[in-house]
Amino acid sequence: MFKIVLYQPEIAPNTGNIIRLCANTGAELHLIEPLGFAMDDKRLRRAGLDYSEYSRVVRHRDWQAFVEAEQPARVLALSTKGSRRHTEIDYRPGDAIVFGPETRGLPADFLEQVGAEHTLRIPMRPECRSINLSNAAAVVIYEAWRQLDFAGALTQ
């Protein structure tokens, strides 16, 4: 499935919400240090409820450690500086979808390394700066999963 990668996340409840999102979609969650909170933060646990047992959550000391350990098939970055909409790409199993820290987004050198063709944005009104991290992750992962016909989901 997909790898949701939070690059230096800062807000525990956002990460908790994304743990729950991963449990419900089958995505893995990868956290790139440093983190802006402790993993035993009660706000993280409250937001994630008891879903952490249903999702793979892995911490990595830095970006390079993530790449070495996970060897992602393809890296996609989300940024307000992206030139392509998140719906204009064909998602593939194994994609690593990277989101930046809540207060500053992904660094320019990281986006340059990923490349413009793999830097995506979520459309929003021009007077707005950004979308909440956990909401952005949900928007993107559900589009990616939809493209795979919700593989592994309960069907009715």
- The predicted-structure confidence for 100-111, as pLDDT tens digits, reads as follows 999 999 999 999
The model carries a pTM of 0.93
Tell me if 122 is assigned to a ligand binding site.
yes
Tell me if 78 is assigned to a ligand binding site.
yes
Tell me if 130 is assigned to a ligand binding site.
yes
Confidence bin at 37 (pLDDT 50/70/90): confident
- The predicted-structure confidence for 54-84, as pLDDT tens digits, reads as follows 788 999 999 999 999 999 999 999 999 999 9
Are the C-beta atoms of residues 68 and 41 closer than 8 Å to each other?
no
151 C-beta neighbours (distance < 10 Å), count: 10
Distance of CA 9 to the CA centre of its chain: 10
Tell me if 49 is assigned to a ligand binding site.
no
* Domains of the chain listed by start with CATH number: 3-147 (3.40.1280.10)
